[in-house]
Amino acid sequence: MRGTGVVTAASLVLLCAGAMAAEPGTPIPFTVNGAPLFAYMPGPAPSRSYVVELRTPSGLNVLRDQVADHIHHHGLMMSFMVDKVDFWAETPECGKQIAQSLEKTAAGISERLVWTGTDGAARLLESRAVTAAPDAESGCTLLRWRSEFSLPPGREKAELTGSHYHGLGMRFIAAMDGQGPFFNASGVPGEIVRGEERNVPADWCAYTAKAEGKPVTVAMFAHPKNARHPAVWFTMPVGFAYMSATLNLHKEPLVLEGGEPLLLDYAVALWDGTKTTDDIEKAYRRWLADSPR
């Protein structure tokens, strides 16, 4: 393989032999005490794997999938560009996250994916773990997303780039569009990038809005040991509501090379009701204490 420098997704299937298979396009549901908690869509469906549903403690879902205005918006998803191959949009020129193996536990999934270009060559390998559970002390649903990226055999480096919103992003349900402001740990609104779209560095970012007529608060946390911490949060309040944790790739590409993997560790906390900055900061600190690296 090193002689050609090209590794195909098909050849990497052998590396994952023996793992549990999952049907692309069929959500994997997770429950707690018989009630739905979240659902995971194994990829490519049609272009990636993602969290398709995520619910507050009372059962309100906050994620929207395959919206007519942006068909590539899929719930909670990880996307950016690798070596100029776009893994964000869904056009014939875009790459796909192809699931090679998936293991399910009571709390979530462990998945191996190959980020593959239209030429069939593997651009990036990802080992992903997504788990969720109620957090009784913080009174929220807490989902953790950990992605470890590495180079395919035969590739010496990969350049990660993207737009100001590329990263781990979530599209909220239509009922949550155009409501209360986003807020974050830094206490500042951040830089205006385009229209009302902003980027701001912070430990966490949050949004309070009404879902099915009831207030909910959603916060995203970034682990301080992530590359380029603090995360640069993209927020979009007008047109529709969107939030993502980015690596600021539109300003500074990130080059992955050698044997050192790139580990990104995030969490999403969901509450019923309105939460304050202090409430979210306490939940963030609690997550860090329970999430050593």
User: What are the tens digits of pLDDT across the range 256-288?
Assistant: 998 889 999 999 999 999 999 999 999 999 999
Q: What is the pLDDT of residue 21?
A: 58
Report d(CA 145, CA 147) in Å as an integer.
7
Are the beta carbons of 126 and 147 closer than 8 angstroms? Answer: yes
CA angle 46, 51, 56 (to 5 degrees): 150
Burial class for 66, CB neighbours closer than 10 Å (0-12, 13-18, 19+): middle
Give the whole-angstrom CA distance, residue 76 versus residue 113.
Answer: 16
Sign of CA dihedral 153, 159, 162, 166: positive
pLDDT at 20: 55
**Residue 18, pLDDT score:** 32
Distance CA 270, CA 206 (A): 10
Which residue's structure tokens are 């990829």? Answer: 43
pTM above 0.75, yes or no: yes
pLDDT, residue 166, reads 98
The closest alpha carbon to 170, from 34, 269, 96, belongs to: 269
- Give the per-residue pLDDT at 68: 86
Give me the count of residues in the chain.
293
C-beta separation of 203 from 287 below 8 A = no
Over residues 152-161, the pLDDT tens digits come to 999 999 999 9
- The Cα 187–Cα 204 span in angstroms is 10
280: Cβ–Cβ under 8 A, 6 or more apart, which residues? Answer: 185, 204, 206, 217, 219, 269
Average pLDDT for consecutive 10-residue bins of the chain (293 residues)? 41 38 84 96 93 98 92 96 97 96 95 97 98 96 98 96 98 94 95 96 98 97 97 96 98 93 98 98 96 75
- Identity at 93, one-letter amino acid code: E
Give the Cα separation of 119 and 235 in Å (integer): 33
Strand-strand pairing, 214-222 and 242-246: unpaired
